[in-house]
Structure 1
Amino acid sequence: MRYQSLSIVALTFICSLFLFPEESLSQAHSVEGTVSDQNGEPLPGVNIQIKGTTRGTSTGAEGSYKLTTESETDTLVFSFIGFETQEIPIQGRNQIDVAMTPATLESGEELVVIGYGTQQRSDLTGSVSSVRGDALTAPAVSNPAQALQGTASGVQVVSSGEPGSSPSINIRGIGTTGDSSPLFVVDGVFVNDISHLNNNDIESMEVLKDASATAIYGSRGANGVVLITTKQGTSEEPVFNFTMSEGVEVPTSYSMVNARQYATLINEGLENIGEESRYDLSQIDSSTDWFDEVMDPASVRKYNISFSQGTDRNSYYVSLGYDNQNGTVDKSGYKRYSVRVNNRYHLSDNVTIGHNLSGNWSDKDNRLGEAFGWTYRIPSTVPVRNPDGSYASTGIGSNGNVIAALDYHHNFTKSRALVGNAFAEVSFLENFQFKSSLGVDMSHAENTNFDPVFFVDENQRNQESSLSKRWAKTQNWLWENTLTYNQTVDMHKIDAVVGITAQENNFEQLGGERNNIFSDDRDLWYLDAGATEGLGNSNIASSSSIVSYLGRVNYTLMDRYLFTGTLRIDGSSKFPEDERWGTFPSFALGWRIIEEPFMDEAGWLSDLKIRGSWGQIGNQKIGDYRYYATAATGIGYAGIWGNSIDRGATITNLVNQNVTWEKSEQTDIGLQFALFEDKIEGEVDWYKRTTKDMLVEVGVPGSVGLNATEGNVGSVENSGIEFSLDLSGSQSDFYYNIGLRASTINNKVVDLGTRDELIGGNIGAGKNVSRARVGQPIGFFYGYKSLGPFDTQQEIDNAPTQSNVAPGDLRMADINGDGTISSEDRTKIGSPIPDYTGGLNITVGYKAFELSVDMYGSFGSEIYDGNNNVRYSGDDNFSKEWLDRWTGPGTSDEVPRITFGGDWNYEVSSRWVHDGSFVKIQNVRLQYTLPASTLEALPVSSANVYISGNNLHYFTKYEGLTPEIPGSVRSPGSVDDPNNANVNNNSALNAGIDNNIYPVSSFFQLGTSITF
């Protein structure tokens, strides 16, 4: 197309030699330049016309143009759908670059995607954060949700380093002990996870935070909503784009004590309990760094190509993507192939049909679950292999040779998914539009787990090979019908929508197990290749549905007084018939002070608005059929004839016919402002969200013999302040953009009904480290407050009675003052919830170079070190902090003497609670855009190359692998029921506990983007 445009220009010039007299030709004037949007992105297809004539041109795919006018005094008219038309006099210039301003919007504002529509940002009454452009593609992340970290205020994102895993996301705090994850809406389709999405396909992400913004989604929006809009074809000329990057992931380093230090500590610990030393230090001449053995650098690859075009009658966007991330731990990796096809057909001026479809194929190696737990504990004195090449025994019953386990471990999941919708829009009577959309979210996953026959030692062996397979399919559909009314009459602007939606979620899983597989050959890993003795089969399914009625009215008076009213009525099959329906209203008011006449003199102030909202939203995130008495089959019992074993069944849970909606009530007050022609823009919000009738598991006495059931118990309150500030400017060839995001979080349990507490945070060995109690944050750490080691026997004699202690053992605080240390002295010893979080995003550019730096910080949270708290024997390895142990009076104020578990030194206490605050250099990217002169001889519109680094460094006091500690995270391709809240449970009671966590690693990438 580039050569075609050049040919047309050449032909026009030749013809002009014959058609125009010489004196007229001498007055001709050539003009060229580029046209971009408000973010500096090139705009293809912009119409450029010489004012007063019918002659002109349009910009190409790279946003550039070139034309010849009759006079250097002519005026050029730039117009493009969705942007303000601009008239610019040439005034003798040969180079004119134009930045377009979004149409119909004041103060340079843009349209914002909201539930079931769009709205001018100036008219918003709800709290909405937008993320778009390079913020979505610059970070080297496999899951788009990770791009929200530090770029959206009020959003806490905690990532896992495991390839393909989904981050833990909380919007405005944690409102429930159950699943607190937000709703994702991709082009109108509800999904639980967005790991299937290709970052390059996303146009924008909007985070809806307050009740006014989320109420339109009813029960699904109780924990906030993330709206994702994918790209569409816009350019009249076909556009082809290719992006690629190659990189390496560098594992986090972590050092345990070396072999000689380990032997010294073990000997010392044995002496402390009156036993003989085990090691002769002179015989130890080698050491194994097990973390170094387990973790290695890994390659990361990303490729993406896209084709797009848009005309008055139809548009298309097609993309193909490939992501391959090899994990830093062997047998952990994620490979994904994705395709997207977005089409829109304008059958007439009033009828449009289209679809947004994405498919992906992924292969995931599931890492050995015990990998990091074992790596912490294996002694440095143990080699990986014996002299004869066989795997060495660790000598620890509970922990095997992790390298051997990784070698013999085979667990992988293949997943296929289709997500998208087809829709039809009909406009009529000028102001009405009806839209019907049918969306699907379908996936199929196959998990294979194979263990061959192997022998390392008596505790780590497999005497017969075993194979298990599970197939799972999810089939969810969503049918939505909405009617929109939009009209502006004089000083009144009305935007209203009503609708009815229906959704059904279906899940089925089929599994089988066999032993003595015919061969270790992967081609024979089928159930029929195993023995029939001891075989196992299973088949489970679940289904749920919801019907909703929705309505919303946005009213604007004189462009300054704003009102939004929303009502949603949901009926869910998860609740019994009498409790099935929930009604959730919200209201919001806004005042655009900048539009008042008395603000005319404040020329330095370009925008000022205050807004407030209140609303209620429901939550239904519990498992299916919880109000039915379910039975488990396969229960064996001895029959009375012949002592034969017959199949039986038994009721497994209590029936709760009163379980109903969890309700979230939220109040928000916000201020938006802009100064100096929008060079400084800011927003401040105060919010308070109270979750009532919280859905939690209600325990039953063990004597009943049944599982716990869900009930509506208690309430939780979150409150805080969100702040965002953006500064931008340019001077000649230099430009900059600086964004600051900050949020405070105050979380506390207000009521737990008849219960005193909820218990969680199981780290093994019968230890639970977290609680939920009235007046405290959800998931606070609960245990003894350590005062450091006793220094002398006299200190022990003078202290409150603490049984079985000696000098060097930890001294616990007497919280209740009764003179005896007992379980009654346990108290709050920390909280995983940060006091505030924030992000800093800086972009500076000079000519063809652009440098961006993103930083993220979390402050005020604590981490519970479960890795080092749990000790099962006197053989486990030690972290380096034990080198500062107590060895005599005055030698240590924190670390006790060496003992081997089962005593006060390993009780759940503040000894294991550490400051979890950190600042992270999240992303640094240096980009160079090739100049147009370099590309003239190539069929290329634009090209750039870049080098970037992700997760480059943590500034933190925490000495563990990572200060980012997610709760339970869900990996794509899981064959568990995604609709079952107990399976996909990102529980707040598990947050902040460092126990076998896959750490976040650094990425370094070199990439390029080329547009044809």
Structure 2
Amino acid sequence: MKKIRICPDFPGRPTITKLVILMKLTFAIILIGCLHVSANVRSQSKVSLNMQSADIKRVLIAIEKKTSFRFLYNSSLLTEQPKVTITANNEDVLSVVNRLLANTLIAYEVLNNNLVVLKKEDVIINQVAVKGRITNAAGEPLAAVSVRVKGSNAGTSTDAEGRYSIEVPNDAVLVISSVSYLTQEISVNGRAEINIILETNNAQLEQVVVIGYGTAQKRDITGSIAKVSGREVADKPNTNPLSSLQGKVSGVSIINTGLPGQEPDIRIRGTVSRSQTKPLYVVDGLFNDNINFLNPADIESIEILKDPSSLAIFGVRGANGVIIVTTKKGRTGQLTVNLNASIGIKKITDEVKMADAVQFKTLFDEQRQNEGQPPFAYYDKFTGNSNWVDLIAKKNAIVSNNNVSVSAGTEKNKFYMGVGYIKEQGLIKHEDLDKILLSINDELRVSKAIKLSFNLNGYRATPPAANDFVQAINATPIVEPFNKERGIYNRLPDQIGGPQVPNPVMLVEEKKNTDLQREYRVIGSVSGEVNFLRDFNFKSTFYLDLGFNDQRRYTPRIRVWSADLDTADWQNGYQNTQVFQKENTYSKFQQEYLLTWKKKFGDHNLTALGGFTTYFNSYTETNGRVTQFANGTPIPRDKRFWYVDNFFGDPGTRVSGVSTGGDLFGNDKPLQWEQATVSYLFRALYNYQGKYMLNASFRRDGSSEISPENRYQNFIALGAAWEMTRENFMERQTIFDYLKVKASYGVLGNQYTEIHYPYYPQLVSGSSAVFGNNVVAAYTPSYIADQNLKWEQVRSAEAGVEFAILKNRLRVEAVYYHKKTTDLLTNYPGLSGQKPGITNAGEIENKGVEASATWTDKLPNGIGYSISGNITSFKNKVLSIYQPGFEIISGASRVTAGMPIGYFYGYVVEGVYQSYADKISSPRAGFFGEYGPGDLKFKDVAGPKDANGKPTGPDGVVDDNDRTMIGNPTPDFIYGFALSADYKGFDIGIDFQGVYGNEVFRSWGNGNTFAVFNYREDRMGRWHGAGTSNWEPQVNDLRGINKQNSSYMIEDGSYLRIRNVSIGYNVPIKKEGFTRFAKSLRVFLNAQNLVTFKDNSGFSPEFGGNAIEFGVDRGSYPLPAIYSFGFNVTF
């Protein structure tokens, strides 16, 4: 008897063992860390003392020094108390306090964070009426200022004259707060009148932002850095946190796909390269290509770096912008547990409108008549009316996000751990994403000078198989999905004029659980830093990123019923079972050695940074497939057998390779590469009196991707800013509360190419050579290598202004930016039999303006509100590429000098020929074969090019020379605006987001053979006689002119979307009831992608892609509306 191997060997299998060992070590570290911090927290509730004849105050101070407890009391309460003698050996703190106060008339109350309040027993609290006036520094009255009694719900607000009155306990503390002003706490101490002057709140300016390899105050930076709090992504129903930023940040274009777990397409200030658009992600210092391994609930903040002065420090990785993500860390205090959970449903809101059965028959009959064919003779066998999109779509797809985190710490050790589980169902049935995420960090303060840190992130995911709605859009509606009489699925008509797409319902149901995918990833870092010589800090960090992915896909045999052939047969492409298996592993290692010097010389402030870093990245992929013999035993629908080297039964019926030659398995192309970078960096941040700021940065990168002659390259940047409102001559002006002008210039880099080590081409077989009389096999280079290849450079500049007016209620930032890419990495034509090579030949220009504004205020009735908005313009142009006349073509998209990158290229439609007279009087279009009334009429744009290569005017003929730009996928501008309000614990917010001035290319329902696929519903408005339509052509598959790329396929890509609506309530915490165990509790409702106002006919108006082909609507996947409910509670 042969044994079935459940997990046979396969290349890459040892990596699993390594990962299992790593996961075990990780678990051990987690356990030790938890026990360590738990022990610390518990130890804070125990104390040992031996004090003789001591004041009670001294005993309390001793307890504070040895534990996390803090005591609040009036000094007069303890002055007349007798001295005490007290000893304790690892005794509970509150037990010691009970003995300490046993013979006094002092009582106590324990509040949050181990704060103990001492007070007299049975004190009768006297009430006092307090009144006063609240003004600003100029003596002007402030209305709608909140006056609240600390620790209670009692409160009031000021009137138009800034006056208030309130009755409070004699020893109360008043909390005075107002938008744009610093909050103050004032003790009443029996006073009947208290007048208060509020100071302007410049917290936003003093905000600390994360920059490359460090932090800085926002007011001290000279560039454009946007900061988004983790709170803004934590309660949104997005499995990828970056999706929540759409429309929130100026200069950042974000396109979401709707696919479960898929990362969005992000472009910062336009497209600067033809090879790469993705920004660099830096997570707690580690360079990365995505942040799929992060749980939104574990994010502390997100910074988006856009300007050259902040990007040049990233050298060859900074050209497309940088997104820095900082995860949550432990904080000093007692153990805190946070639970954050949400659940929601996803729905399709914008459907693609296709013909139903009646409309299909009308159009198809007319088409056959136009083509001179007889009527379709099989309608009696196809009586269905199937909306295939509805049949495969999940009506209420679930998305849930559940997270729990633990935080604790002392002055010496801070610990944080978060665990999350995400489940997201797709819009197509049986699409399920499951993801488990882990985040751990521990910070150990060895001494005042030495600190050690440990970070670990990991996840395990089972992503769904790649499905889309294209088959459902294309399928003819006249077929019922399932043949109940025969117990098999129906095939779409064979006699309709060509091969049909497979039955969409059959594909979804039969392929259920046949594509098994698993992803594992572990990301960690260990760092140590030491402060020395008072002003210096040295930090060394080691990072690692290990990943393993494996996929096993089973293709079943599917038998279907062909009604028009009156027979059952195997579905095309599903005649024989097959197994595909793929495994890939990758590892990334990064090291940093950073020295920082901070010094203040009188009015001069200087922070200098120098460092050395290395980065190594390797990738290995192995895959293969196996197919049953032509008439052999099918591979079972049992995942135990879904391996390429598995076999079963008799050797004569075992599984064979892709061919029928009897091979055990056939390998697809394996892939393996390594990449390394070595870098030296320097940065200086200087300011004088907080008025004049200068920033300078330098980085020298060396990469293994580039030939030794050009391996190293330098990147520099300079930035300057002037905070004018700190000048003496601005003291008397009353317009600006804050005013800063800024400018920066820098050189950035991009090393990405489609080919690794492009200066060293691979050898390919298939050629031959002659030696004497012998002809032998030979290997030749796959392309001609350019030994002078170097990195792309992006010369970037910006100039802008930041200001605040109207008592800081209105804040505005506006920037003009200009980016010019030189030494563009681009393909050039290869010789016969060779693929294109890569060389530096081209320039791209991006420029535009971005602006953002926020108004924040509070109404007299206590309602706080905020209005914010941002807008960014884009102007993209390819200045040159390779040589005159050279173009890069990808479908309907082109890259041509003098045009926007990825513009749509084709014929301009002027209308539809209405008659033969119309045809004769129009420019001749015989280039496309037969055409006439009912066909699209193209514009005669230009004739042949002259001797200088420039197009001439119209020549009376429509041919290749008349193709031109018919659309631009890059918008004129993007925008977003938001409204929010809060009142007595309630808050509400609504976000809008939009795009204007771009076009999308509709690739579905155009040139596809009408005899094979369904029709768009608007084809009912087709031309079917003179005057019936001047846009929709006749239904006639024989007319090739209607299938050409033209403006007929172009649609308006502009849209406005209600991106997010949220309502929340912060539940009051009371000493009694269900909230008594919690520190805070918030509940919220959220609706995302509620309504989209658009003009295109597809599921969505936004479509990502690569650098040169984007904005193409393939009808693949909708962007769903998501309705969710959740809560966030802290214990």
1:496 is aligned, of 588, 604, 608, to: 608
Secondary structure of residue in 2 paired with 1:263: helix
- Per-residue CA deviation, residues 894-953 of structure 1 (Å, 9 max, x unaligned), is 111111265111110000100000111111111122112376653111112211111111
Equivalent position of 1:991 in the other structure: 1110
Separation in 1, partners of 2:472, 2:934: 27
Equivalent position of 1:795 in the other structure: 918
- Check whether the contact 1:724–1:739 (CA below 8 A) recurs between aligned residues: yes
- Check whether the contact 1:331–1:366 (CA below 8 A) recurs between aligned residues: no
- Check whether the contact 1:164–1:333 (CA below 8 A) recurs between aligned residues: no
- Unaligned 5+ segments in structure 2 are 1-40, 46-68, 72-92, 108-117, 130-149, 153-167, 561-568, 629-633, 648-654, 657-661, 943-953
- Per-residue CA deviation, residues 789-815 of structure 1 (Å, 9 max, x unaligned), is 111111101000112211110000000
Cα RMSD for the two superposed structures? 3.4
- Check whether the contact 1:871–1:901 (CA below 8 A) recurs between aligned residues: no
Q: Which moved more, 1:564-573 or 1:837-846?
A: 837-846
1:364 is aligned, of 463, 469, 478, to: 463
Equivalent position of 1:113 in the other structure: 210
- Per-residue CA deviation, residues 375-423 of structure 1 (Å, 9 max, x unaligned), is 2211111221224231111135252112222233322320000123111
Equivalent position of 2:1007 in the other structure: 870
Matches within 5 A, 1:657-806: 657-701=787-831, 703=832, 705-731=833-859, 733-761=862-890, 768-803=891-926, 804-806=930-932
Instruction: Give the superposition deviation at 1:996.
Output: 4.3
CA gap of 1:91–1:573, structure 2 versus 1, over 3 A, is: same
2:555 is aligned, of 451, 460, 468, to: 451
Matches within 5 A, 1:32-181: 72=170, 88-90=186-188, 109-181=206-278
Equivalent position of 2:432 in the other structure: 333
- Check whether the contact 2:230–2:296 (CA below 8 A) recurs between aligned residues: no
- Per-residue CA deviation, residues 492-543 of structure 1 (Å, 9 max, x unaligned), is 0101101010000011112222223642112322223242423113532100
Instruction: Give the superposition deviation at 1:439.
Output: 1.0
Secondary structure of residue in 2 paired with 1:213: helix
Matches within 5 A, 1:451-530: 451-456=555-560, 457=569, 460-516=572-628, 518-530=635-647
CA gap of 1:401–1:25, structure 2 versus 1, over 3 A, is: closer
CA gap of 1:15–1:316, structure 2 versus 1, over 3 A, is: farther
Equivalent position of 1:37 in the other structure: none
Equivalent position of 1:558 in the other structure: 689
Equivalent position of 1:257 in the other structure: 355
Instruction: Give the superposition deviation at 1:235.
Output: 4.2
> Between Structure 1 and Structure 2, whose CA radius of gyration is higher?
2
Separation in 2, partners of 1:503, 1:23: 65
One-letter amino acid of the counterpart of residue 433, structure 2: Y
Separation in 1, partners of 2:791, 2:321: 16
Equivalent position of 1:810 in the other structure: 936
- Check whether the contact 1:421–1:440 (CA below 8 A) recurs between aligned residues: yes
One-letter amino acid of the counterpart of residue 435, structure 1: K
Instruction: Give the superposition deviation at 1:85.
Output: 10
Instruction: Give the superposition deviation at 1:624.
Output: 1.4
Separation in 2, partners of 1:747, 1:464: 50
One-letter amino acid of the counterpart of residue 401, structure 1: N
Separation in 2, partners of 1:830, 1:22: 79
- Check whether the contact 2:475–2:500 (CA below 8 A) recurs between aligned residues: no
Separation in 1, partners of 2:357, 2:204: 66
Equivalent position of 1:301 in the other structure: 400
Separation in 1, partners of 2:121, 2:759: 91
CA gap of 1:391–1:13, structure 2 versus 1, over 3 A, is: farther
Equivalent position of 1:905 in the other structure: 1042
Does residue 961 of the first structure (1) align with residue 1099 of the second (2)?
yes
Separation in 2, partners of 1:295, 1:23: 68
Instruction: Give the superposition deviation at 1:656.
Output: 1.9
Does residue 267 of the first structure (1) align with residue 365 of the second (2)?
yes
CA gap of 1:265–1:496, structure 2 versus 1, over 3 A, is: same
Separation in 2, partners of 1:541, 1:1007: 44
Equivalent position of 2:54 in the other structure: none
Does residue 610 of the first structure (1) align with residue 709 of the second (2)?
no
- Check whether the contact 2:578–2:635 (CA below 8 A) recurs between aligned residues: no
Does residue 914 of the first structure (1) align with residue 1051 of the second (2)?
yes
- Check whether the contact 2:865–2:980 (CA below 8 A) recurs between aligned residues: yes
Instruction: Give the superposition deviation at 1:891.
Output: 1.3
CA gap of 1:5–1:553, structure 2 versus 1, over 3 A, is: closer
Does residue 625 of the first structure (1) align with residue 722 of the second (2)?
no
- Check whether the contact 1:263–1:279 (CA below 8 A) recurs between aligned residues: no
- Check whether the contact 2:431–2:465 (CA below 8 A) recurs between aligned residues: yes
Separation in 2, partners of 1:8, 1:794: 102
Matches within 5 A, 1:151-230: 151-230=248-327
Secondary structure of residue in 2 paired with 1:391: strand
Instruction: Give the superposition deviation at 1:861.
Output: 0.7
CA gap of 1:187–1:459, structure 2 versus 1, over 3 A, is: same
Instruction: Give the superposition deviation at 1:280.
Output: 8.0
Instruction: Give the superposition deviation at 1:758.
Output: 3.1
- Check whether the contact 2:517–2:551 (CA below 8 A) recurs between aligned residues: yes
- Unaligned 5+ segments in structure 1 are 32-56, 60-69, 762-767, 968-986
Equivalent position of 1:546 in the other structure: 677
Matches within 5 A, 1:584-663: 584-622=715-753, 623-632=755-764, 651-663=781-793
Instruction: Give the superposition deviation at 1:25.
Output: 5.4
Equivalent position of 2:481 in the other structure: 384
- Check whether the contact 2:785–2:838 (CA below 8 A) recurs between aligned residues: no
Secondary structure of residue in 2 paired with 1:659: coil
Equivalent position of 1:47 in the other structure: none
CA gap of 1:433–1:18, structure 2 versus 1, over 3 A, is: closer
1:435 is aligned, of 539, 555, 560, to: 539
CA gap of 1:102–1:657, structure 2 versus 1, over 3 A, is: farther
- Check whether the contact 1:863–1:994 (CA below 8 A) recurs between aligned residues: yes
Secondary structure of residue in 2 paired with 1:529: coil
CA gap of 1:92–1:327, structure 2 versus 1, over 3 A, is: farther
- Check whether the contact 2:500–2:1012 (CA below 8 A) recurs between aligned residues: no
One-letter amino acid of the counterpart of residue 747, structure 1: N
- Check whether the contact 1:239–1:307 (CA below 8 A) recurs between aligned residues: yes
Equivalent position of 2:418 in the other structure: 319
Identity of aligned residues (%): 29
Does residue 577 of the first structure (1) align with residue 676 of the second (2)?
no
Instruction: Give the superposition deviation at 1:759.
Output: 3.0
- Check whether the contact 1:107–1:678 (CA below 8 A) recurs between aligned residues: no
Q: Which moved more, 1:801-810 or 1:650-659?
A: 650-659
Does residue 929 of the first structure (1) align with residue 1066 of the second (2)?
yes
Equivalent position of 2:155 in the other structure: none
Q: Which moved more, 1:599-608 or 1:287-296?
A: 599-608
Separation in 2, partners of 1:75, 1:953: 47
Q: Which moved more, 1:209-218 or 1:705-714?
A: 705-714
Equivalent position of 2:339 in the other structure: 242
CA gap of 1:71–1:408, structure 2 versus 1, over 3 A, is: closer
One-letter amino acid of the counterpart of residue 616, structure 2: E
Separation in 2, partners of 1:75, 1:942: 22
Equivalent position of 2:384 in the other structure: 286
Does residue 403 of the first structure (1) align with residue 505 of the second (2)?
yes
One-letter amino acid of the counterpart of residue 593, structure 1: M
One-letter amino acid of the counterpart of residue 603, structure 2: M
Separation in 2, partners of 1:281, 1:444: 52
Separation in 2, partners of 1:443, 1:23: 63
Equivalent position of 1:417 in the other structure: 521
- Check whether the contact 2:230–2:302 (CA below 8 A) recurs between aligned residues: no
Separation in 2, partners of 1:120, 1:583: 27
Separation in 2, partners of 1:355, 1:332: 36
CA gap of 1:590–1:270, structure 2 versus 1, over 3 A, is: same
Separation in 1, partners of 2:1017, 2:585: 47
Does residue 343 of the first structure (1) align with residue 442 of the second (2)?
yes
- Check whether the contact 2:749–2:791 (CA below 8 A) recurs between aligned residues: yes
Secondary structure of residue in 2 paired with 1:877: coil
Q: How many residues align?
A: 937
